Structure 1
Amino acid sequence: MSTTEKNGQVAVKNDISAQVLAKIESFQSSGELTLPKDYKVENALKSAYIILSDPKNNILAKCDKSSIAEALLKMVIYGVSPIKKQCYFIPYGDKLECSISYAGNIAIAKRYGNLKSIKGNAIFEGDTFEFEVDQTSGRRKITKHIQTLESVGTNKIKGAYAVYELNDGTIDVEVMNINQIQTSWGQGGSKGNSPAHKNFPDQMAIKTALNRACKLLISSSDDSVLYDPLEEETTIDVTDANVQHEIKTKANKETLDFSKTEEANVEEIETVAEEVPQEEQPELTGPGF
């Protein structure tokens, strides 16, 4: 257990993650917040604390405590896990933000957007690609996509698409050309110039198409989910509209004050022996990745 010496007294290090857990439990006990049944808050907070405590990044020391608490709170309310790379913690100066990854959006879409399955593919120069739009439903359908060994894996990307099936059997396609994809990349912190974008443009293009499809499903969901794909607001599963509004004003906007150190009341989260995978942080920011 990490401790600090102060005036001859041993004080237990103030564990922000434990305080966020207490905040979440307070919302739950008052009926203001309902989390997914398959989401383990303690596990998510523990893995997040391990990542933030990594001495290579030293995020806990560099970032403002309130912004760290807000990032952890957002992670929990979205119901995503950093160890599954469903979200990433990205420092901007002394402020920490929680960015939801494409994997996180898929998980959220499956919970709230009736998503059953989704699969993405890149369209390379030299591919034969055709799709059509149903004149009645407006849904797209891939009618032909033929690739060759020569075209696959090159940096000459023409576009990408995501085919997804809903729980009711409905199948639709999200298609993006390279201009749309690059515009989306331009919204991120790296502006599409990260090593991942340069070395694996096909994979990043696929992720962008998957991301867009899932965000559309989430934002159009009939479930009680507060989610704005442009503003990156927090996703919350609640029981009625009044509670939704209260959570949005309290849980999402309230600044958590951790300026006072509680001694001997908060247990330090133990580290685990296994190494947590390092984050690919900068390239996963912004609405389109």
Structure 2
Amino acid sequence: MATNETLKNQVATKQNNEVANGKKPMTINDYIDQMAPAMAQALPKHMSVERMTRMATTVIRTTPQLKEADVTSLLGAVMQSAQLGLEPGPMGHCYFLPFKNNKKGTTDVTFIIGYRGMIDLARRSGHIQSIYAHAVYENDDFEYELGLHSDLKHKPAEDNRGQFKGAYAVAHFKDGGYQFEYMPKSEIEKRRARSKAGNSKYSPWATDYEEMAKKTVIRHMWKYLPVSVEMQNAVEHDEGTGRNIKDITPDDEAYVDIPEMVGDTPADGENEGE
């Protein structure tokens, strides 16, 4: 297994050699194109590597902070999205969030699964008939009950729904069973505060709060869903850096194990909760 530092040195050496030989240094797009064969092997059959690389390069092009990020960290996030078959971009399947790593003095990239991504991953199990989540507002008619005969009823207000109150998720299994979870706003905010993405202005929490609130509830319910061990482990790496990405240097077929970041702050300098 090559180390993250080894990969950085390989990339730096390659770039220096190219400059010394009068060649134009490789861009992030060049590295993604070079990594395309490994991405093609990782992608689910229903997705094409051409579409994945196009979506990734579009996100990078429209987010200036990603262009300044550590190459291995960014490529790790790209490979993580390929391994899970989740498209980065406006659909909200997954996000690449830049963070300042104060210990290393670099900008690293955190991979974040979105609400629609969580729904997509759950449906792939083949054991779930339907899964959905909804936001609850203070003027909605909402009640839920736990115990031997648990129940949940929600009738959204038609006009002014008031302030956000919480969110719930429901999964119906093909064998006739079901699972639901409700989480009040106070609990959602606690989990947001512990998230690396919680307070960053580049975070989906800032742009799609309701979607992230619903994702938070589904992730909490995840351990009760009939999904594979591999999928359970994949979701555990949510809000971490990519793992086991194929080395982007052409002469080395090793895989790179990129550890999760520790002690990071958002790229915009805002403080993150623990």
Which range, TM-score by smaller chain? 0.5 to 0.7
Kindly state the Cα deviation for residue 10 of structure 1 after the two structures are TM-superposed.
Answer: 5.3
| CA 1:109–1:101: 2 relative to 1, 3 Å | same
Listed as ranges, the gaps of 5+ residues in structure 2 are 1-17, 101-106, 252-266
Partner residue of 1:53 out of 39, 51, 61: 61
Query: What is the distance in 1 between the residues matched to 2:230 and 2:236?
Result: 18
Give yes or no for contact 1:226–1:233 (8 Å, CA) kept in 2. no
**SS of the residue 2:129 aligns to:** strand
Kindly state the Cα deviation for residue 224 of structure 1 after the two structures are TM-superposed.
Answer: 4.4
**SS of the residue 1:168 aligns to:** coil
Higher helix share: 2
Q: Match for residue 240 of structure 1?
A: none
Query: What is the distance in 2 between the residues matched to 1:66 and 1:196?
Result: 23
| CA 1:206–1:71: 2 relative to 1, 3 Å | closer
Q: Match for residue 78 of structure 1?
A: 84
Q: Match for residue 14 of structure 2?
A: none
Q: Match for residue 148 of structure 1?
A: 157
Q: Match for residue 161 of structure 1?
A: 168
Kindly state the Cα deviation for residue 23 of structure 1 after the two structures are TM-superposed.
Answer: 2.9
Give yes or no for contact 1:66–1:258 (8 Å, CA) kept in 2. no
Alignment deviations for residues 168-226 of structure 1 (CA, whole Å, 9 cap, x no partner): 3433212112222111211224546869768976555334334434x3356x5246435
Query: What is the distance in 2 between the residues matched to 1:128 and 1:119?
Result: 18
Partner residue of 1:256 out of 238, 247, 258: 247
Where do 1:65-214 residues align within 5 Å? 65-83=71-89, 84-93=91-100, 94-112=107-125, 114-133=127-146, 135=148, 140-142=150-152, 144-149=153-158, 152=161, 154-155=162-163, 157-189=164-196, 191=198, 204-213=212-221
| CA 1:39–1:175: 2 relative to 1, 3 Å | same
| CA 1:198–1:256: 2 relative to 1, 3 Å | closer
**SS of the residue 1:186 aligns to:** helix
Pair 1:64-2:70 in alignment: yes
Give yes or no for contact 1:141–1:172 (8 Å, CA) kept in 2. no
| CA 1:141–1:104: 2 relative to 1, 3 Å | same
Query: What is the distance in 1 between the residues matched to 2:191 and 2:239?
Result: 18
| CA 1:22–1:200: 2 relative to 1, 3 Å | closer
| CA 1:100–1:40: 2 relative to 1, 3 Å | same
TM-score (normalizing by structure 2): 0.65
The total of aligned residue pairs comes to 226
| CA 1:217–1:135: 2 relative to 1, 3 Å | closer
Q: Match for residue 243 of structure 1?
A: none
Kindly state the Cα deviation for residue 70 of structure 1 after the two structures are TM-superposed.
Answer: 1.2
Query: What is the distance in 2 between the residues matched to 1:199 and 1:66?
Result: 26
Partner residue of 1:37 out of 13, 31, 45: 45
Kindly state the Cα deviation for residue 150 of structure 1 after the two structures are TM-superposed.
Answer: 5.8
Identity of aligned residues (%): 23
Kindly state the Cα deviation for residue 48 of structure 1 after the two structures are TM-superposed.
Answer: 0.3
Give yes or no for contact 2:34–2:248 (8 Å, CA) kept in 1. no
Alignment deviations for residues 56-76 of structure 1 (CA, whole Å, 9 cap, x no partner): 61523x112211221111111
Query: What is the distance in 2 between the residues matched to 1:46 and 1:17?
Result: 10
| CA 1:12–1:169: 2 relative to 1, 3 Å | farther
**SS of the residue 1:50 aligns to:** helix
Q: Match for residue 247 of structure 1?
A: none
| CA 1:173–1:7: 2 relative to 1, 3 Å | closer
| CA 1:191–1:134: 2 relative to 1, 3 Å | same
Where do 1:206-245 residues align within 5 Å? 206-213=214-221, 215-216=222-223, 220-222=226-228, 224-225=230-231, 227=233, 229-232=235-238
Give yes or no for contact 2:128–2:171 (8 Å, CA) kept in 1. yes
TM-score (normalizing by structure 1): 0.62
Counterpart residue identity of residue 46, structure 1: R
What's the C-alpha RMSD, in Å, of the aligned pairs?
3.8
